[in-house]
Structure 1
Amino acid sequence: MLLAAADREGRGRLTIFLGMAPGVGKTYTMLETARRLKADDRDVAVGVVETHGRAETQALLEGLEVLPRRIIPYHGHDLQEFDLDAALKRKPQVLLLDELAHSNAPDCRHPKRWQDAEELLRAGIDVLSTLNVQHIESLNDVVARITGVRVQETVPDRVLDEADEVELVDLTPAELTDRLEDGKVYVANLAAQAREGFFRPGNLTALRELALRRTAERVNAQMVGYMRSRAIEGPWPASERLMVCIGPDGLASAIVLAGNRMAEQLKAPWVTIYVEPAYMSPGAISDIDTAAIEDALSLAERLQSRTERLIGLDLPGEILAYARRNNVTQILIGRSRRSRIRELFGRSLVQELIRKSEGIAIHVVTAPPASKKRKSLSYRFRKWVDVPTWPGILTSLAGLAGVVGLAYLVPSMRQHPNVSMLFLAIVLYSAIRHGRTASLFTAVVAFCIYNFFFATPLFSLQIANFHDVITLLVFLVVAATSGSLAGRVRDQASAAQDRMSALQLLYDFSRRLGAAKSANELLHAVVLKAHRLSGMPTMVLLPEQGSDDDDLLIRYAWPPDDILDTASTAAARWTYSHAEPAGTGTDTLPAAPWHFRPMRTGSGVVGVFGMRKTGTGTKIDLKSDLIATLDAMLDQSAVAIERITFAEDASSAATAAATERFRNVLLSSVSHDLRTPLTSILGSVTALRQAPTRYNDAARDELLATIQEETERLENFVTNLLDITRLESGVIEMRHDWIMLSEIINSSLQQVRSRSHPYKIIRRVIPEMLMIHSDYVLLQTVLVNLIDNAIKHAQQMTTIDVSALRQDLYIDISVTDDGDGVPPEHLPHLFDKFYRIRHTDHTTAGTGLGLSIAKGIIEAMNGSLTVESPIAGGRGTRFTIRLPFEEQPKLTDANKEPADAQGI
């Protein structure tokens, strides 16, 4: 509550006027409130108020400042929408924003008006708004079933829950019908249709009840929040709240059913709790008791009750503390049959609750006559007494015999205080090692031995004097009490250790889930951890992508198993469809050998977890601690699966968006780069054919040259597309020959000659006869792309330098220009496909494939292509190709050619 109050600091206040239907007077009441605030010198402005032609509502707008609306063209119409930016700039103290569920036009900053309201609140502006109950998200389906009309505009429940004030504007159905007939809700032709449809008396009555209940829930939540923020203990009987307490007995399910009937009669929310003693380890109660608790809690959940598991030392105190924290007004608890002796001397939970409860009504459910059959003595003894094991008994007897032997070997030890202290030490040791019952057994035996060997008369159980009686009785009480306390401490330590182990398991499991980067890693962790925890075969089933909801596939199983029988398959589908356990150990398809549990998140079931019974019994062994730990693991796993699924969906969406973007860029580039040269070629050919005699020889040569250049340009463009396709498919083939670098550079410059004017191109090869073992055509393609890139992209350039130089084991070929250079933010992306630099005044021509093709070819040659910019004086760009250098093999005398044939 303190954090919520801190979050509200600096925020505006939201007041919602809630009604059951249109026409009840929400906008009218909001305007009346605004006029009162204005009379109190508050700065009030109207952002949006819809009067719907009602004269009395329009009259209340007089004297209030109305902010101008924003005009948005949409499908040939001008929509008047709330101007959020104008309101933030004006920043009144109070702003009226009618119809909170309204959907904004596409060009608005937020799709919904309630999101506009949230931004206004964050800016410190108080907002008054209106809302109908059918627009509340959680009630949308309910209203649709009642009225047959589903509204599309909804507001999340949290908006209503987080509102500072919710004011109910209420009318009786008869009054609203009269307003409808008087034309104060809709015009005449619409009013008749509304009266026969949405505004029928039964619909209005149901909607009114929904509005009243939703407002009551909101007020109730405010009251509980107020009590908790001020540490006020309940109950405040403003509304009824029922708590049902169950225990490990046969009455648990009967108490839950009685609680459900009582909650229905009271029309009150209810919660079912089970309090486990803190000194009892989770596995201390019997399997029968565990099944009774789990069945009762499952029944409560099916009956729409909230369930809680508590742990405490003082059961009555824990129950009453929970009741006061949650403003519970009535408690329902069962009372099993007790013996007369236990009723006289034992502590009754019901009696303690009645004695300590103040302002809370206690209802007691007693066992029906049919269930009052007395349990056997052996069952009751096993239930309330943990029978010591033979090792514990033998250890205690050996310790007591050792004390007796020591006392008779050392006469000075026979004094009563010494012997009694040693006996007490044996009792405490037995309590710590073997439990409370073992310590009580040891105390009784020690009492008898003490009386027999050390109290007069010796070697007899008779007691000679009153002093010895007092000594023996005090010894027995002290031994039993200390042993019982030590045993309880041992049980508490054991229970704490069990719970700590469970917490550590969940902590380790959550860390492993957080580290999982794929669904396979996640499912591997879930299945193996559950297998180690339960000792049973386990599996996870997930829905098949693109199939029906109940079509499940085994995604991971241990031991490996990919087949389910028909009954198990049906049970798994039931669990997925109904979000309830099914299979063995449940009431749904219990004949199936597998037990399935849903993996749920807030948005639904994401998968199914299964365990298979391993023994020859007819029912799987499901203990409460195992189920609680498994359910916690499955909840975490479901959230992790949903997280990975969302991440994969986001990645797929991003990939699809990038693919679509590349496709659009490619289509745009292809259409542009094909249209431009084709237009030039078509124009030149048309001119030559239609008027062949008009042009002289020089003009015809110029037109033919244009046709040739544009054809070469088209050829280069198509070659680039083919090259990028070959590179991506990995089918590019190298034809290695010995090439003279000066020759390939000259050939590359010749191809761009027509586009290089008026730039000066410098060619340098050191040494001049430098040879390289490479693919002539592909290397020429790279050089042409780099030189052409410098010509097209380098602004205010005068010189292009193409040089080749041997550097030890490498050959560096560089293309340098003295243009403006490349902005630093573009350097990492220059070799990306379809990447083009956008200047402030233009975008460079081309498809953005040349550099990407060049880099791919050079890397296929086991080389590298890098870029530097600027080079000197803040200007210039240099692309450097580095290829491995190989020595040209020398010719032997047998295969030498004549010198004049080599052209030397």
Structure 2
Amino acid sequence: MASPDLTPKRPDPDALLALARADRPGRLKIFLGAAPGVGKTYAMLAAAQRLKAEGHPPVVGLVETHGRKETVALTEGLEILPRRPVAYRGQFLEEFDLDAALARRPALLIVDELAHTNADGSRHPKRWQDVQELLDAGIDVWTALNIQHLESLADVVAQITGVQVRETVPDAILQTAQDVVLVDIPPDELIARLKAGKIYLPQTAARATENFFNRGNLTALRELALRRTADRVEDQMTQILRQKAIEGPWGASERLMVCVGPDGSGEKLVRLAARQAASLNASWIAVSLARPGAPHGPDSLDLAESLGAEVQRLTSTDFAADLLRLARRENVTQILLGQRGRALSRALLALTEDIPVMVVPLGSLPRRLDLSALTAPGLVLDLGLAALVTGLGVAVGTGLDALMELPNLSMVFLLGVLAASALRGARSASLAAGLSFLAYNFFFIEPVHTLTIAKPHELFALLIFLAVALLTGSLTARIRAQVQTAVAQTRAIEAQAGFSRKLAVASTEEDVLWAAVTQVHALMGSTAILLVPEGPDLIARAAWPPDELTDPAERTAARWALEKAEAAGWRTGTLPNIRFRFEPLRTPGRVVGVLGFEPRDPSEPLSPEDETQLSATIEQAALALDRALLVREAVKAAALEENEKIRDALLTSLSHDLRTPLAAILGSVTTLQARGGLAAGQALDLLQTIGQEAGRLNRFVGNLMEMSRIDQGALKMRRDWVDVGDAVRDAVERCGKTHPGRVTRISLAPDLRFIRGDQDLLAQVIFNLADNAHKYADEGEVAIHARNEGDQVVISVTDEGPGIKPVDLERVFEKFYRGGGTDRRKAGTGLGLSICRGLVQAMGGTIEAQSPAIRRRGTRMVVRLPAAELPEEA
């Protein structure tokens, strides 16, 4: 007997992820019915009255009572938001006011008729999109829906009832609802309600009973509603079991692939695949198939995406091999094809034994004659080229026939067919083959100048010529299309590579913005604009050609794209009638901006190639802009950190360097005041201490003020003739007063040149260096030398102290840097050398520290200033 498995069971990660996605701010409850009149709105308002009685009254955003007294009575006592009047075709309609609901922000809002289409000019074309915005805002919503309005069931309902459903809701809305309440009554009771005038007016009810509201239709719709509700309950139970790690007979995960082409069967096939995927709880992929050079059909793919499919486009010359390769890469377990894909299904079955291929019957699909090739642009050029090459073939053939006797001139015409195919494609080749067939018969087959053929073998040869011409023309056209596709792809890759290079070298946010808008402008051929958030505002930072968003609807769409991280504007679900489409620049952590562009042709959707390039451009721009913003934030953080260090150093200096001399001054003053009978020598010593410490305070404050002037650029430098020797002597004289008894030796070159600058500031620099040297020279002397060196005047200040570590030779010029010394009195404030560098640089010179200086110790500060030429005397 096998021992039980005691290993702890872990919850299913996919189930937990689905739970996290479903845990949105607002909760959605749908009252689902099989048909109008079953009592969805009544049941919803009855539940609202029960909540009101419990002390939690909901707010009515919109309810359609259709004049039914029982339904109207249930709205009494409930707060009802006013509707928004909208002008439409000369009259005013009353629509749900989304902005008023968001401003009121109730805990629970009732919004009836989920599948309703909003009037033109509304923010969203569909009411279910209004409901999604309410949910995202954290508002719970109750709504009502009939089963025939589900997107995947639209064609089934049309087949059952004969009525085409125009207003549909994506199945994902029903799947993501936290609660679904099925409102159901038997068909006979519903028909009785209809005849009693409780649903429509009597004349309308009579027509409805004959058409939509018959027993068969209502029974079929009731079954659809019951099945879909049961499927959803099963899905919920499955998710709960997986989240709680309860074992069950879970099968392998199914994954469907549906293949759609450019014919009219795509929408039916996509809806059927969506229903099958829902019944199997399977994910699915919709693949659009097209030959090189042929367009993909966007309508079926848009529908598939709205029904929850992953969409891919496949351009290939070998559909079977490429589809099978894609299926294996995506772990597909079933492939669905339409009834016109039997040849493809046979090719797939010949290549695989492990993936089932199903050909789905889609009913009668009339094969209409495709006249698009005759009405497409460029027909005149194709026909003209075909006539030209045929005429040239006749001329060349006539000339050759006059010069020599050739058994067969068909090769001349075949050459023209190949030329037409290479220049214009398959249509021109087909026209050229047909004209060559007629011209060859008319001019070169006996009897000439007629379309009759005397000899049977000539007819056979002519037919062979036509077949060969069509075949070679078709092959050449296919090669031409493949070459054009390859060239287009190469250009797209080159464009993206060039854009990537621009982004790689873009060092600032501005560079990234302009690179992005110029790339999108080149791709779309129209205005591109890029907006970035700055505080509460969304600012247009780059546009090409220069443009501004002046339309309030455009600004609203851009703001929507930023806040909701989804596209808005042209051909989207939000404000689809404006001129721009706005795409959010999304990164894994945030939305860093919004890119807007105008389409080339607002009446046509973007081609798949343009969509692909646009998506790649947006992704690259988002990452590059995010990187630039991170760099800017890092620089700002580094500056703040540096400012914090300076602030801490300043506070430390203030707390010590002000307190120490103040303590000495206060102590001396207190002693003088308390002991009036001090000896003259003692009083003199105390007064001398007061003077020295006051001088220290004065120098400290002066250094702070000087540093502040340098940092703020407020230092005004004179450009006078400066005698460097006089500045050195002034500094040494001042140093003698500050450090009495200490030796400061000077050595000045006899031909010392003048400089242009400020003599007082130069003397300040030399004094700061000498003062700093005396602090670290212990009892040794300080030497100051000045000499000419090329076109510079070099001043050096050397001490005999312990010297500076090599790693600190540059750092000693930083503000508040003290070299790690523990003697803060000796080290000072750490501003002296920083002030020296600022003053020297203001005079156009440089300063550096050298250590060791003499006898493997000491420090030498070297100042280099540009020498000035004295003006010649007149």
Task: With the length of structure 1 as denominator, give the TM-score of the two structures.
Answer: 0.66
- Report the Cα offset of residue 324 of structure 1: 2.3
| Structure 2 Cα separation of the partners of residues 131 and 716 of structure 1 | 72
Residues 455 and 405 from structure 1, CA distance in 2 versus in 1: closer, same or farther, beyond 3 angstroms? closer
Corresponding residue for residue 819 of structure 2: 837
Corresponding residue for residue 624 of structure 1: 608
Corresponding residue for residue 311 of structure 2: 307
Corresponding residue for residue 273 of structure 1: 287
Corresponding residue for residue 390 of structure 1: 383
Secondary structure of the residue that 1:867 maps to in structure 2?
A: strand
Q: Does 1:415 align with 2:407?
A: yes
| Structure 1 Cα separation of the partners of residues 451 and 246 of structure 2 | 75
Corresponding residue for residue 552 of structure 1: 538
| Structure 1 Cα separation of the partners of residues 786 and 15 of structure 2 | 74
Q: Does 1:359 align with 2:342?
A: no
Corresponding residue for residue 35 of structure 1: none
Residues 887 and 326 from structure 1, CA distance in 2 versus in 1: closer, same or farther, beyond 3 angstroms? closer
Q: Does 1:404 align with 2:397?
A: yes
Once structures 1 and 2 are overlaid, which stretch shifts more, 242-251 or 760-769? 760-769
Secondary structure of the residue that 2:810 maps to in structure 1?
A: helix
Q: Does 1:491 align with 2:484?
A: no
Q: Does 1:297 align with 2:301?
A: yes
Secondary structure of the residue that 1:875 maps to in structure 2?
A: coil
Aligned with 1:210 (options 243, 246, 252): 243
AA paired with 1:628?
T
| Structure 2 Cα separation of the partners of residues 667 and 712 of structure 1 | 20
- Report the Cα offset of residue 133 of structure 1: 7.9
- Report the Cα offset of residue 134 of structure 1: 9.7
| Structure 2 Cα separation of the partners of residues 596 and 570 of structure 1 | 10
| Structure 2 Cα separation of the partners of residues 646 and 377 of structure 1 | 56
Corresponding residue for residue 571 of structure 2: 585
Residues 403 and 423, structure 1, Cα contact 8 Å, conserved in 2: no
Residues 270 and 300, structure 2, Cα contact 8 Å, conserved in 1: yes
Corresponding residue for residue 415 of structure 2: 425
- Report the Cα offset of residue 373 of structure 1: 6.3
AA paired with 2:535?
G
Aligned with 1:713 (options 696, 700, 712): 696
Secondary structure of the residue that 1:603 maps to in structure 2?
A: coil
Q: Does 1:852 align with 2:834?
A: yes
Corresponding residue for residue 868 of structure 1: 850
Once structures 1 and 2 are overlaid, which stretch shifts more, 665-674 or 748-757? 748-757
- Report the Cα offset of residue 677 of structure 1: 0.9
Secondary structure of the residue that 1:609 maps to in structure 2?
A: strand
Aligned with 1:782 (options 750, 765, 789): 765
Residues 719 and 809 from structure 1, CA distance in 2 versus in 1: closer, same or farther, beyond 3 angstroms? same
Corresponding residue for residue 522 of structure 2: 532
Once structures 1 and 2 are overlaid, which stretch shifts more, 562-571 or 485-494? 562-571
Residues 135 and 740 from structure 1, CA distance in 2 versus in 1: closer, same or farther, beyond 3 angstroms? farther
Secondary structure of the residue that 2:705 maps to in structure 1?
A: helix
Residues 518 and 644, structure 1, Cα contact 8 Å, conserved in 2: yes
Identity of aligned residues (%): 35
| Structure 1 Cα separation of the partners of residues 730 and 248 of structure 2 | 85
- Report the Cα offset of residue 674 of structure 1: 0.7
Residues 410 and 303 from structure 1, CA distance in 2 versus in 1: closer, same or farther, beyond 3 angstroms? same
Q: Does 1:478 align with 2:461?
A: no
Q: Does 1:666 align with 2:650?
A: yes
Residues 270 and 859 from structure 1, CA distance in 2 versus in 1: closer, same or farther, beyond 3 angstroms? same
Corresponding residue for residue 644 of structure 1: 628
Secondary structure of the residue that 1:830 maps to in structure 2?
A: helix
| Structure 2 Cα separation of the partners of residues 258 and 138 of structure 1 | 27
- Report the Cα offset of residue 645 of structure 1: 1.2
| Structure 2 Cα separation of the partners of residues 482 and 727 of structure 1 | 82
AA paired with 1:678?
L
Secondary structure of the residue that 1:273 maps to in structure 2?
A: strand
Within 5 Å, which residues of 2 pair with 1:493-508?
Answer: 493-508=483-498
Residues 812 and 833, structure 2, Cα contact 8 Å, conserved in 1: yes
AA paired with 2:243?
L
Corresponding residue for residue 176 of structure 1: none
Deviation track 1:593-621 (CA, whole Å, cap 9, x = no partner) reads 22223332333433222223577xx6355
Residues 754 and 267 from structure 1, CA distance in 2 versus in 1: closer, same or farther, beyond 3 angstroms? farther
Deviation track 1:327-377 (CA, whole Å, cap 9, x = no partner) reads 2111233346xxxxxx9xxx74345445655332334455467xx466465
Secondary structure of the residue that 1:836 maps to in structure 2?
A: coil
Within 5 Å, which residues of 2 pair with 1:1-80?
Answer: none
Corresponding residue for residue 701 of structure 1: 684
Residues 821 and 350 from structure 1, CA distance in 2 versus in 1: closer, same or farther, beyond 3 angstroms? same
Secondary structure of the residue that 1:705 maps to in structure 2?
A: helix
| Structure 2 Cα separation of the partners of residues 216 and 700 of structure 1 | 103
- Report the Cα offset of residue 754 of structure 1: 6.6
Gapped regions of structure 2 (runs ≥ 5): 28-234
- Report the Cα offset of residue 663 of structure 1: 1.0
Residues 736 and 495 from structure 1, CA distance in 2 versus in 1: closer, same or farther, beyond 3 angstroms? closer
| Structure 2 Cα separation of the partners of residues 437 and 668 of structure 1 | 86
- Report the Cα offset of residue 204 of structure 1: 12
Residues 585 and 619, structure 1, Cα contact 8 Å, conserved in 2: no
Deviation track 1:518-539 (CA, whole Å, cap 9, x = no partner) reads 2222222222222222222221
AA paired with 1:577?
E
Secondary structure of the residue that 2:253 maps to in structure 1?
A: coil
AA paired with 1:359?
D
Residues 738 and 774, structure 1, Cα contact 8 Å, conserved in 2: yes
Residues matched between the structures, number:
663
| Structure 1 Cα separation of the partners of residues 818 and 553 of structure 2 | 61
AA paired with 1:210?
Q
| Structure 2 Cα separation of the partners of residues 210 and 519 of structure 1 | 44
Residues 585 and 618, structure 2, Cα contact 8 Å, conserved in 1: yes
- Report the Cα offset of residue 666 of structure 1: 1.3
| Structure 2 Cα separation of the partners of residues 831 and 486 of structure 1 | 76
Corresponding residue for residue 168 of structure 1: none
| Structure 1 Cα separation of the partners of residues 627 and 272 of structure 2 | 41
- Report the Cα offset of residue 709 of structure 1: 0.7
Deviation track 1:465-491 (CA, whole Å, cap 9, x = no partner) reads 444344333333333222221221111
